[in-house]
Amino acid sequence: MIDIKLIRENPEMVKENIKKKFQDHKLILVDEVIELDKESRELTLMCDDLRMKRNSISKEIGNLMANGQKDEAEAKKAEVGEINAKLEANEGRENELKEEIKARMMKIPNIMDASVPIGKDDTENVENEKFGDPVVPDYEIPYHADIIEAFNGLDKESAGRTSGNGFYYLLGDIARLHEAMIAYARDFMINKGFTYCIPPFMIRSDVVNGVMSFEELEAMMYKIEGEDLYLIGTSEHSMIGKFKGQIVKEEELPIAITGYSPCFRKEVGSHGLEERGLYRVHQFEKQEMIVLCKPEEQMDWYNKMWSYTVEFFRSLDVPVRTLECCSGDLADLKVKSCDVEAWSPRQQKYFEVGSCSTLGDAQSRRLSIRAKGEAGNYLVATLNNTVVASPRGLIAVLENNYMADGTVKVPEVLWPYMGGTQVIKRK
């Protein structure tokens, strides 16, 4: 959510930003906010005048009563009653206007960074840089579900009976490899100076509305029936929510946290071969990083954070690239975002394994997260980034470490987390 002062003072800039995101249907929201805000401020002044008048008359009533002028005092009391009735009506309208303004402000996209490329959708995202050579071996790389099943490591049939489509059992060495990656990611980020966190896996609606747009909410979140609770889609949600309504000391910034959680999403599975695999599932595990910092430091942290994900995957012998998200692919709260994509030697293309974003003060404005500095309180900048999400990360490791004899080489950094196992062999 942007500052309403920006809409008052520079509505054309806000509209131009909306156009660059190809959301012209939202242009009317700017004009509506301006009109509603004008009415709201006029009502506020009117209410202030009425309160001042009421206070003045109340003093008169006291003097009249002290002088025994009861009839005049009663007349003044009637006047106060009329003022109170007007105030009640005006205050009710004030509250209505505030809610109407907020509802529209929540739909107006954040102002993008000037460096964001302009494009309609993810097909126009821009490749930034490649890290590692994308090798295609001279032997066939099987589909990832077939690799896992060869090790007796996947059971989607039983998960279908217990939970439905989009769920799975991981077993044996594959399950261990999956958890090894998560544990390694935890230690990797701790060594980068991040504080480890296991957050709540459910959050209330006021936190949900503070960390994501309505469009994302509808597409992602599972709601707990009969309760004001949602299953988290990423630990970022509850880690940012930890600071809701708080004023942190400036000297405590930056706050850098890495969180583990299971994640739950209403993913819509693709059709055909990919549907039986693990690309799009309703439940997965993730190691995330978030940062709260001074606004002027957000771009430095943004570049550090995506580079940590690149470093992490390169340590697993996985070639990756970064892809700059264009304006049309940028979620409404985001200022700038890039995806980290891993090389798939089977598909001979890259696929997304992580996403890094800075949201400016959009989340902190919604959740009222401030820092206390020498010049007063100010809204902090918030950033988030995926370290690794499995099974996406698991797929990348399996394909890029698959050997011609059907075994999978375990990346050296994972040996301590695999009890010394260096190669996974068929059962």
**Both tokens assigned to 110:** 């954040």
pLDDT for res 268: 53
- Per the DSSP assignment, residues forming a β-bridge with 371 are 248, 378
| CA 23 – CA 31 distance, rounded (Å) | 15
Between β-strands 349-358 and 336-344, what pairing exists: parallel, antiparallel or unpaired? Answer: antiparallel
Contact 147, 408 (CB under 8 A): yes
Length in residues, the chain:
427
Task: Write down all domains in the chain, each with its CATH number in brackets.
Answer: 4-105 (1.10.287.40), 122-424 (3.30.930.10)
Packing angle between helix 298-314 and helix 172-190, nearest 10 degrees? 140
Structure tokens at 369: 């997260």
Type of residue found at 234: T
Can you give the pLDDT at residue 58?
80
> What are the distances in angstroms from CA 227 to CA 194, 213, 231, 297?
33, 21, 11, 38
- Note down pLDDT in tens along the chain; length 427 residues: 899 999 999 999 999 999 999 999 999 999 999 999 999 999 989 888 888 888 888 888 788 777 788 778 778 788 888 888 888 888 888 889 999 999 999 999 999 999 999 999 999 999 999 999 999 999 999 999 999 999 999 999 999 899 988 899 999 999 999 999 999 999 999 999 999 999 999 999 999 999 987 677 777 889 999 999 999 999 999 999 999 999 999 999 999 999 999 999 887 544 443 567 888 889 999 999 999 999 999 999 999 999 999 999 999 999 999 999 999 999 999 999 999 999 999 999 999 999 999 999 999 999 999 999 988 999 999 999 999 998 999 999 999 999 999 999 999 999 999 999 999 998 7
pTM of the entire predicted model = 0.89
Contact 427, 174 (CB under 8 A): no
User: Measured between alpha carbons, how far is residue 42 from residues 36, 287, 335 in Å?
Assistant: 10, 49, 33
Given strand 195-197, what is the order of strands in its sheet?
Answer: 126-131, 320-324, 336-344, 349-358, 381-390, 283-293, 255-264, 195-197
